[in-house]
Amino acid sequence: MPSPRLAVAVLALLCLGAAKKPPMVDVRIHALGTAAEAPTFAIPATLLNGTPVFLARMPLLSQREIKAIYPFVAADGSHGTYLKVDNHGSRLLHQHTMSRRGELLVVLVNGRQVSNLLVDRPIEDGIVSIPRGLTADDIALLTSVFPVIGQEATTKERR
C-alpha cells in the first residue's frame, strides 16, 4: 500500500505541472558586430533590407530588462511599441547610444527580425521605440507578459 507521503508528493507535482504558465516571449535587441569577431562574438545576419551584417552574439537588451510596453498601430498598418527598460537596461542603452551613433540596433521578437533601429541620438529616458514590424499576435503576446506604460501599478508583478 502506497504511503500517504508519496501520494501527497505525487499530488503536489501534478498540481505544479497543471499551473498556468505565462506565455513565453523572447525580445532581443542586438548591436552590430564585426567579421573579425565572428564566430565567437558575432554571428552573420541579413537586415530587413537585404544587407548582410554581423550581429553581436550577446544581445544589448532582452526581455529581462523590459518593465513595460506601450503598443500602437504604425502608419503602414503593422504595429509598433515603446519598450520601457529597467535601470540596468537604461544604463546599457545610454552607454551604447552615446558611443555608437550612426550604427544600427536589430530587434528580434521570438527569433523574427522585426526592425532595424538607427542610433541617431543618445537614449537617456530608457524608452526604445519599435516603430513598425510587429503583428497583432506579437502585441497580444507582449501585452499578456508586460504591463502597459502608465498601468504598471495596477497589474500584478510579473516575476
The per-residue pLDDT for range 33-85, each reduced to its tens digit, is: 999 998 999 999 999 999 999 999 999 999 999 999 999 999 999 999 999 99
Q: Is the pLDDT of residue 144 over 80?
A: yes
Question: For 83-92, how does the pLDDT look when each residue is reduced to its tens digit (9 = 90+)?
Answer: 999 999 999 9
pLDDT band at 159 (very low <50, low <70, confident <90, very high): very low
Give the SS3 label for residue 146: coil
Contacts 24+ apart (CB under 8 A), 116-124: 116/47, 116/48, 116/49, 117/29, 121/97, 122/94, 122/97, 122/98, 123/90, 123/93, 123/94, 123/97, 124/94
Q: Give the strand order in the sheet containing 104-109.
A: 61-62, 27-31, 104-109, 112-118
Rounded distance between C-alpha atoms, residue 156 and residue 159, angstroms: 9
Mean pLDDT of 19-24: 62
Domains, the chain, with CATH or none: 23-154 (3.30.1360.200)
Total number of residues shown for the chain: 159
**How far, CA to CA in Å, does 103 sit from each of 4, 98, 113, 121?**
63, 11, 17, 11
How high is the pLDDT of residue 24? 86
Give the SS3 label for residue 86: coil
Largest CA distance in the chain: 72
Q: Which of 18-27, 63-72, 123-132, 135-144 has the lowest mean pLDDT?
A: 18-27
How high is the pLDDT of residue 47? 95
